[in-house]
Amino acid sequence: MRNSFEAYQTIYEQSKNNPEQFWSEIAQQFLWKQPWKETVTFDFSLGENQWFIGGKTNITENIFSKIEDKSKIAFYLEPNDVKPEKSVISYGALERKVNQFANALRKKGIGKGDRVCIYLPMKIEAVIAVLACAKIGAVHTIVFAGFSANALADRINDAAAKCIITAQELVRGEKKVPLKKMVDEAISGTSILFSVVLDLEKNHDTSVEEFDFQSFYQNEAEECATEWMDSEDPLFILYTSGSTGKPKGVVHHCGGYMVYTAYTFKNVFQYQSDDVFWCTADIGWITGHSYLIYGPLLNHATSILFEGIPTYPNPGRFWEIVDKYQVTHFYTAPTAIRSLMTFGDAIPQSYGLNSLKVLGTVGEPINKEAYDWYATIIGKQNCPIVDTWWQTETGGILISNMAGIEPSRATYAGLPLPGIFPILLNEKGEEITDPNQEGYLCFSYPWPSMIRTTYGSHERCIQTYFSHFKGYYFSGDAAKKDENGLFRIIGRVDDVINVSGHRFGTAEIENAMNKHERVFESAVVGYPHPLKGQGIVAFVIVNDLEDQSLIESIRSTVQTEIGAIAKPDLIILTDSLPKTRSGKIMRRILRKIAEGETTHFGDTSTLLEPTIVMQLVAAFQSKHIN
């Protein structure tokens, strides 16, 4: 449809002149049980936006009943351990399993609006569980299977989930994680009524009823009545980190999310029906939701579902998979690219990689070296790279070049998609129009998959996204625009850090560390890390600076409270932190120390104890170099 830059420009202008008509025409291509009455209403002062109001649909009907050839492969299932054969699931087989699982859930009393927690490895059962929820109108909340039992319990409690779908064990590379054991720890005393466990090993004394995944649904009927959902009924909740301590449940609704993920998948990646798409993200993150599950399936794409990690059993695994399935579209995070780069060019060069047509990145800014390596060594200068900027809250890609259509520039995400109207604001909320000036990345108009609310507290949604600049959604990122209007994302300007593409709030990690009995106070900031993008450094007040064993035990507290992925890279034990006379930690100074600054700290006259700055500089420098 849109296959030239001129066409993009024309469509963008049309969308700007009449966004309602633009989105309405796109939405008409979907299956609606009942048409919508109003395309969009919004009021950013109330943190509100609604789409396709009055319409009724179901995202699973749009996946399964619109496909002509049900024998088409939905997923190639690549397990953790290398196996020469190919295991596949067709759209027809997936639909039957989804219906069976949906029937089984219904029998157990799960229905429209009930929250279902999913804590599973990257296996097809995760997709079945997600779509079964959507089929019956239950609201799924997937928790990344790298989160700890405590983090899982927090999310279950916040969502008041009625049941949990999990696995006995998760295997990733050589590591085995006893998921079921963690679930048992997490769910006692929560709202969970029963659990469904993949490869359940034995029934022992648990606080809830439990079922083996296969026996739970294998005898159910393969037909299932669809729950027709209001466009503005919730589809899922996904927890993500923000500036404040507690992760928040971002809520996405059925109609708008469906339209937007399908539209962006098709247009950004320029997917054609015989292509093989591979998004390496975990289903526990938004990228897995939108571009591993919903976006591709709504376009009847064939995708790879990979259970393992890029370096197991060797660092050629990604490229081996690309060749094995003749992958045409490969979508990953800069952190994976940087880490695979360190193993040298010879590894990818020993594979064909000739099927690749489009490469994508997501989750964090990509540096020039990684971009060039990706383009040259993986793409052989033959594949456009789409650097896609978006967030859990945006539901889908907002800023990205479309593959092969618009100009792409290394380290620049590119132009906004049609229907997306970004604006850069300064501190005072005034628009920055000059090119190459940094500003706060905001949006003046909603899009169909924009966050609807934060679960349990709409006030929090207003405060977080709509209160900084009146009349705008504020992303939390800084960005700049070049002369041609291409956006470059600088990174977060709030207390959110991005470690290997995973989002954490600094307060969230501090709260976890403060649970350690010997920690008095702590402050966390990000620092530039060659592989992870940002590393986590924690300055921690303890009473015995000599006891180095504390460092490991503080790290393990973070692992228990949040998960191994949030463990600080550096912990600096100290007896004090840079505080103002009123007792406030001056984070600005800690950020500078973490960036490697040794002398220029600006005005430190309000500090209670100015000498602490140089002490922390020395401590950081000595640790960092080691």
What is the contact surface with ligand WTA in residues (CB under 6 A)? 240, 285-287, 362-365, 387-392, 413, 475-477, 489, 491-492, 498, 503
Amino acid at 415: L
CB of 507 to ligand WTA, least distance (A): 17
Distance between CA atoms of residues 189 and 195, nearest Å:
14
**What length does the chain have?**
626
Query: Residue 281 or residue 612: which is nearer to ligand WTA going by CB?
Result: 281
Strands 521-529 and 502-505: unpaired
CB of 277 to ligand WTA, least distance (A): 17
CB of 248 to ligand WTA, least distance (A): 11
CB of 172 to ligand WTA, least distance (A): 19
Query: Residue 507 or residue 542: which is nearer to ligand WTA going by CB?
Result: 507
Q: Tokens 């296959």 identify what position?
A: 3
Q: Quick one: tokens of 453?
A: 């609310």
Query: Residue 210 or residue 406: which is nearer to ligand WTA going by CB?
Result: 406
Q: Quick one: tokens of 41?
A: 């209403």
Strands 48-53 and 209-212: unpaired
Amino acid at 131: L
CB of 243 to ligand WTA, least distance (A): 12
Q: Which uninterrupted H or E stretch holds 331?
A: strand 329-332
Query: Residue 383 or residue 572: which is nearer to ligand WTA going by CB?
Result: 383
CB of 122 to ligand WTA, least distance (A): 17
CB of 192 to ligand WTA, least distance (A): 26
Distance between CA atoms of residues 197 and 184, nearest Å:
11
* DSSP characters over 465-521: IISSSTTSEEEEEEEEE-TT--EEEEEE-SSEEEETTEEEEHHHHHHHHHTSTT--E
Q: Determine the distance from the C-alpha atom of residue 212 to the mean position of all C-alpha atoms in its chain, rounded to a whole number.
A: 29
CB of 49 to ligand WTA, least distance (A): 18
Could you give the 3-state DSSP secondary structure of residue 308? coil
Query: Residue 393 or residue 510: which is nearer to ligand WTA going by CB?
Result: 393
Distance between CA atoms of residues 294 and 262, nearest Å:
7
Q: Tokens 């503005």 identify what position?
A: 232
Q: Which uninterrupted H or E stretch holds 349?
A: helix 346-349
> How many CB atoms sit inside 10 A of residue 306's CB?
23
Query: Residue 325 or residue 390: which is nearer to ligand WTA going by CB?
Result: 390
Give a three-class secondary structure readout of 41-95: EEEHHHCEEEEEECCEECHHHHHHCCCCCCCCEEEEEECCCCCCCCEEEEHHHHH
Query: Residue 155 or residue 579: which is nearer to ligand WTA going by CB?
Result: 155
Distance between CA atoms of residues 48 and 44, nearest Å:
6
CB of 440 to ligand WTA, least distance (A): 12
Half-sphere exposure for 46 (CA within 13 Å, toward CB): 6
Query: Residue 490 or residue 607: which is nearer to ligand WTA going by CB?
Result: 490
Query: Residue 234 or residue 476: which is nearer to ligand WTA going by CB?
Result: 476
Query: Residue 88 or residue 531: which is nearer to ligand WTA going by CB?
Result: 531
CB of 480 to ligand WTA, least distance (A): 12
CB of 351 to ligand WTA, least distance (A): 26
CB of 361 to ligand WTA, least distance (A): 6
Residue of 526, 531, 623, 530 whose CA lies nearest to 566: 526
Amino acid at 514: N
* DSSP 8-state symbol, 392: G
| Contact of 488 with 413, CB cutoff 8 Å | yes
Query: Residue 180 or residue 253: which is nearer to ligand WTA going by CB?
Result: 253
Query: Residue 47 or residue 315: which is nearer to ligand WTA going by CB?
Result: 47
321: region left, alpha or beta (phi > 0 left; psi from -120 to 50 alpha): alpha
Query: Residue 271 or residue 389: which is nearer to ligand WTA going by CB?
Result: 389
CB of 490 to ligand WTA, least distance (A): 8
Q: Is the torsion defined by CA of 492, 497, 503, 504 positive or negative? A: negative
